[in-house]
Amino acid sequence: MYRFIIVFFAIVPLSAQTAYASLDISYHFRSIGMSGSGLSDLSSSDASNLNPALLSRSNKALIISAIQYPASIRTHFFEFRTKWNSWYLSTTYKGVNYGDFLERDINGEQLGNFSASDAWIAFAFARKLAPFSDIGFSTGLFQSRIGTLESFLGLITFGSRVSIPKTSTSIGVTIRNIGIALESFTSYKEDIPTSVSIGLTHELRYLPLLLSVDAIWWRDKNMVKIGGEFSISENLFLYLGTNSLRNELQIERLWMDISSGISMGIAYDINQMSLGFSFANNGVGGIMLGLGFARKF
């Protein structure tokens, strides 16, 4: 079966490089539903990469999610959270399966099949600095594999979060994916997509909406993400989101242009468990679908 990784790269907003594209994608269904926003939202998952400080004040929990990207590319996400003394801790495993590919030589003759995948394990640590502020960091090992070729990165991310009293507002700041190549595919040096992000989350007074706005800066590109969580009831939540790259998906077809770059999701809490589903429409880039489960202890 033929699959094209380039479709995956087309929907990932990186800075003119694609070797480590999966460092910046969403692995959790809630992130898909909110277009990747939530840098200062304590309810965000995948805190090890989004903002490690978000682990602070969290409950002991197991979080699982899977995302179906276009071109039959799939991701899986497992995170376990706990607390030790004054530290909040998490262990996270994330993986990407790009599928199987047919290899040909320069003359077009078939040489056989090969597969491609990424794997990322991270450990995050967070603690309270004061009643209204938290800090955190994560460190991890990232592996990218194409056939028999492998690349390894050592990565670290720093994050902080501050709540503004009496305003229902919080601000988060992160420096993500500071890294070093431990082993490369070839002698050519690939850039690691290090970024700086700042996010604001505000709970509206007269509307059951938790609104998040994030701004992200890479070396030669920037992006704004906007997302919201509507509390339909005590146990039912609706997610909406979009981002500043929406205009790049326009193809001058009215209804496709209106829906392109829009994401939605829904989640339902049952006692100590949560189930959710989300999707994101990337126009000509295809549809992303996400499922998730969480269990608090």
Give the pLDDT confidence of 233-263 residue by residue, as tens digits.
999 999 999 988 766 666 666 555 566 778 9
Beta-carbon contacts of 50 under 8 Å, excluding residues fewer than 6 positions away, are 31, 38, 39, 44, 159, 174
Q: Could you tell me the pTM of the whole model?
A: 0.87
d(CA 36, CA 14): 14
d(CA 55, CA 39): 12
Whether residue 13 has pLDDT greater than 60: no
The answer to whether 234 touches 256, Cβ cutoff 8 Å, is no
Whether residue 225 has pLDDT greater than 50: yes
pLDDT in tens, 159-180: 999 999 889 999 999 999 999 9
Mean confidence (pLDDT) of the chain: 87
Domain that holds residue 224: 5-296
- Whichever domain contains 163, its CATH number is 2.40.160.60
* C-alpha pair distances (Å), 42 with each of 37, 56, 160: 12, 8, 12
Domain count, the chain: 1
d(CA 5, CA 70): 9
Task: State whether the Cα torsion 6-11-14-20 is positive or negative.
Answer: negative
